C-alpha cells in the first residue's frame, strides 16, 4: 500500500521547491505595508498592479477608523456562527444596506466570498437538480457544485449556444441553476448576460451571477453585471464579495426573501462557520457609503482602465477580450511568463503570473488589475517598464 504522503514529495510540490531553489518562485510574497497602489516588500517600494482593490479603499482613513471603532465596541471577534451566538446588530444592518443597494428583497452575508458560493450552491441544488456553469467560472463555484448533490455540467466559455445545447440535452432535470461569473477573474471579460437570460427563460432555469469583480465596478451605480446590462429583474441571485471594492473580507448573496431564508437555514457554510468579525463588517458598511456618495471613484477607475488598455495594446501586448480593470497580458509559454514576471518584480512592479490549472495549459498570462487611486505617473511607469521587459523577453 502506498503512503498517503508520497504525493507531497513530487509533482506540483517539487516543482515549487525547485523554483524556490532557483530564485524565481513568484508566489506567497510577503508584503510589509498596507494594500495600496505602492507596497513594500523587504523594504523595497513597488507599484502594485496585482490587487483587486478596485476603488482603492483599503487605506481610506474613514474605512480604517470604522474598523477601529467596531473593535472598540464589539471586540475582535464573535466566537460563533451566525446561526447561534455570532449575529451582531451590525451584521443585520449590513444585510439591510446591501439589499437596499442591490435592489433585492434581502441579502445574507457569509465570512468569505469563497464560502458564499459554496454555501449557496450546495444548499439549493438537490439530487434531482442540475447545475450548469461556464467553463471558466471561479474555483469557488466549481467546489460549490462538487459539494451539491445534483449533477454539474459545463458549457464553453461565454458560449450561449453551447449553454443551450447542454440544457437541451438534459431536459429531465428537476430544477436547473445556471451559474456564471459576471466578470471573469483571469480574462477580465464580462458574461454575455443578455443571451444567457434568453437561454435561461427558454429552459425555465434560474440564474446566479458571481459579481465578485463587478460590484463597485460595473453599472451606473456600481451594482454589478445585471445593472450594467439593465437586467436586474432577470437575475435571481447575485453573489458579491467584500475583498475587492469593499476593502475587507466576506461575501453576500442577494435575492428573493424566501430563497435567502431557505439558504439561511440550510447552508452548512453559514451554519457551521464563524461569523464575520466586527471590524470587517464595519469596514464594508463604510466602504458602501463611500461607493454610493463618491461616484467619481468609479469614473477615475475607468479612466485608468482605458489608459492601460490603450497603452498595452499600442505597445503590442495581447490583452485578449478584457473589458474591465482586470487586464491580462497573454503570453502562453510558462517559462516566458515567469521570466517576464521576474524582471518586472526585480524592477519594482508587483504583478501576478498565472499558469495552469488557473488557466488552460498553454494559456499562461500576467494578470494585471487597476485601482481608482493609481496615478497617471504610476501607470506611465508600469507601461514604460512593461514595454522594455516585453521586448527583452520576446513577448512584443
Adjacency order of strands within the sheet including 326-332 = 326-332, 364-369, 352-354
- For residue 23, pLDDT over 90 is answered with no
Top-level class of domain 61-293: alpha beta
C-alpha cell at 108: 445574507
pLDDT band at 360 (very low <50, low <70, confident <90, very high): confident
Average pLDDT over residues 303-311: 98
CB 284 within 8 A of CB 67: no
Where is 379: in which H helix or E strand?
A: helix 376-393
Mean pLDDT of the chain: 96
Select from 100, 136, 70 the least CA-distant residue to 289: 100
Mean pLDDT of 201-213: 98
Q: Which of 52, 70, 54 is nearest to 62 (CA)?
A: 70
Q: Write down the pLDDT at residue 161.
A: 98
Q: Which residue, 265, 282, 331, 332, is CA-closest to 119?
A: 265
Backbone φ and ψ of 209, nearest 5°? -115, 130
Beta carbons of 331 and 396 less than 8 angstroms apart = no
Query: Predicted confidence band at 14 (pLDDT cuts at 50, 70, 90)?
Result: confident
Residue 209's beta-bridge partner residues? 180, 238
* Candidate CATH numbers 3.40.50.720, 3.40.50.1970, 3.40.50.12280, 3.90.1150.10; the one for domain 19-48+295-393: 3.90.1150.10
pLDDT category, 12, cuts 50, 70, 90?
confident
Cell output for 263: 439558504
The confidence band for 355, taking pLDDT boundaries of 50, 70 and 90, is confident
Q: Quote the pLDDT of residue 74.
A: 98
Could you say which DSSP state residue 274 is in? B
Per-residue pLDDT band at 301 (split at 50, 70, 90): very high
The answer to whether the CB of 180 falls within 8 A of the CB of 209 is yes
Give the integer Cα–Cα distance in Å for 140 and 153: 15
Grid cell digits, residue 298: 468609479
Specify the pLDDT at position 13.
85
Can you give the pLDDT at residue 358?
77
What stretch of H or E contains 210? strand 206-210
Residue 173 reports pLDDT greater than 80: no
How much of the chain exceeds pLDDT 90, in percent?
A: 90
Q: State percent of the chain over pLDDT 70.
A: 100
How many Å apart are CA 19 and CA 15, to the nearest integer? 6
Predicted pLDDT of residue 185: 95
Residue that is written with C-alpha cell 531553489 in the block: 21
pLDDT band at 90 (very low <50, low <70, confident <90, very high): very high
Predicted pLDDT at 198: 98
Beta bridge partners of 46: 39
Provide the phi-psi class of 34: left if phi over 0, else alpha when psi is between -120 and 50, else beta.
beta
pLDDT at 10: 81
- Calculate the alpha carbon distances from 72 to 67, 195, 278, 282 in Å: 9, 49, 10, 12
CA 160 from centroid of its chain's CA atoms? 22
pLDDT band at 361 (very low <50, low <70, confident <90, very high): confident
Listed range (26-35, 175-184, 297-306) with the worst mean pLDDT: 26-35
**Global pTM value:** 0.96
Give the mean model confidence (pLDDT) for residues 240-252: 97
Residue 362 near residue 44 (C-beta atoms within 8 A): no
| Two domains, one topology: 19-48+295-393 and 61-293 | no
**Count of helices and strands (H, E) across the chain:** 14, 13
Q: Where are the domains of the chain?
A: 19-48+295-393, 61-293
Least confident of 132-136, 206-210, 353-357: 353-357
> Can you give the pLDDT at residue 267?
98
Among 217-226, 245-254, 297-306, 347-356, which stretch is predicted with the lowest mean pLDDT? 347-356
Is it true that the peptide bond before 159 is cis, omega within 30 degrees of 0?
Answer: no
d(CA 126, CA 131): 10
Q: Note the pLDDT of residue 250.
A: 98
The per-residue pLDDT for 237 is 98
Name the pLDDT band for 356 (thresholds 50, 70, 90). confident
Q: Can you give the pLDDT at residue 24?
A: 82
Q: What is the pLDDT of residue 117?
A: 98
Predicted pLDDT at 375: 98
Dihedral of CA atoms 241, 244, 248, 251 in degrees, nearest 10, equals 0
Amino acid at each position: 500500500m502506498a503512503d498517503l504522503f508520497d504525493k507531497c514529495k513530487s509533482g506540483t510540490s517539487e516543482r515549487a521547491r525547485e523554483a524556490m531553489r532557483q530564485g524565481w518562485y513568484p508566489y506567497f510574497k510577503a508584503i510589509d505595508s498596507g494594500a495600496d497602489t505602492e507596497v513594500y516588500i523587504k523594504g523595497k517600494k513597488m507599484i502594485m498592479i496585482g490587487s483587486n482593490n478596485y476603488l482603492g479603499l483599503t487605506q481610506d482613513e474613514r474605512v480604517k477608523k470604522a474598523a477601529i471603532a467596531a473593535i472598540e465596541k464589539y471586540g475582535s471577534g464573535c466566537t460563533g456562527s451566525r446561526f447561534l451566538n455570532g449575529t451582531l446588530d451590525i451584521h443585520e444592518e449590513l444585510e439591510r444596506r446591501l439589499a437596499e443597494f442591490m435592489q433585492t428583497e434581502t441579502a445574507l452575508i457569509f465570512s468569505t466570498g469563497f464560502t458564499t458560493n459554496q454555501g449557496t450552491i450546495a444548499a439549493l441544488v438537490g439530487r434531482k437538480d442540475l447545475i450548469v456553469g461556464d467553463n471558466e467560472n471561479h474555483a469557488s463555484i466549481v467546489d460549490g457544485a462538487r459539494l451539491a448533490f445534483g449533477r454539474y455540467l459545463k458549457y464553453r466559455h461565454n458560449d450561449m449556444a453551447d449553454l443551450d445545447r447542454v440544457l437541451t440535452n438534459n431536459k429531465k432535470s428537476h430544477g436547473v441553476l445556471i451559474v456564471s461569473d459576471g466578470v471573469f477573474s483571469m480574462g477580465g471579460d464580462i458574461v454575455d448576460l443578455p443571451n444567457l437570460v434568453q437561454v435561461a427563460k427558454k429552459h425555465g432555469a434560474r440564474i446566479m451571477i458571481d459579481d465578485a469583480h463587478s460590484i463597485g465596478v460595473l453599472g451606473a451605480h456600481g451594482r454589478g453585471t445585471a445593472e450594467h446590462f439593465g437586467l436586474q429583474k432577470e437575475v435571481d441571485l447575485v453573489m458579491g464579495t467584500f475583498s475587492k471594492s469593499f476593502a475587507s473580507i466576506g461575501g453576500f448573496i442577494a435575492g428573493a426573501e424566501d430563497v435567502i431564508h431557505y439558504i439561511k437555514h440550510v447552508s452548512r457554510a453559514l451554519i457551521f462557520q464563524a461569523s464575520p468579525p466586527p471590524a470587517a463588517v464595519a469596514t464594508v458598511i463604510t466602504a458602501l457609503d463611500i461607493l454610493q456618495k463618491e461616484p467619481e471613484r468609479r469614473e477615475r477607475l475607468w479612466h485608468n482602465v482605458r489608459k492601460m488598455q490603450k497603452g498595452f495594446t499600442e505597445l503590442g501586448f495581447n490583452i485578449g477580450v478584457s473589458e474591465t480593470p482586470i487586464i491580462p497580458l497573454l503570453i502562453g509559454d510558462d517559462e516566458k511568463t515567469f521570466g517576464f514576471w521576474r524582471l518586472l518584480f526585480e524592477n519594482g512592479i508587483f504583478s501576478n503570473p498565472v499558469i495552469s490549472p488557473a488557466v488552460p495549459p498553454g494559456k499562461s498570462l500576467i494578470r494585471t488589475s487597476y485601482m481608482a487611486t493609481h496615478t497617471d505617473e504610476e501607470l506611465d511607469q508600469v507601461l514604460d517598464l512593461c514595454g522594455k521587459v516585453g521586448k527583452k523577453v520576446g513577448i512584443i
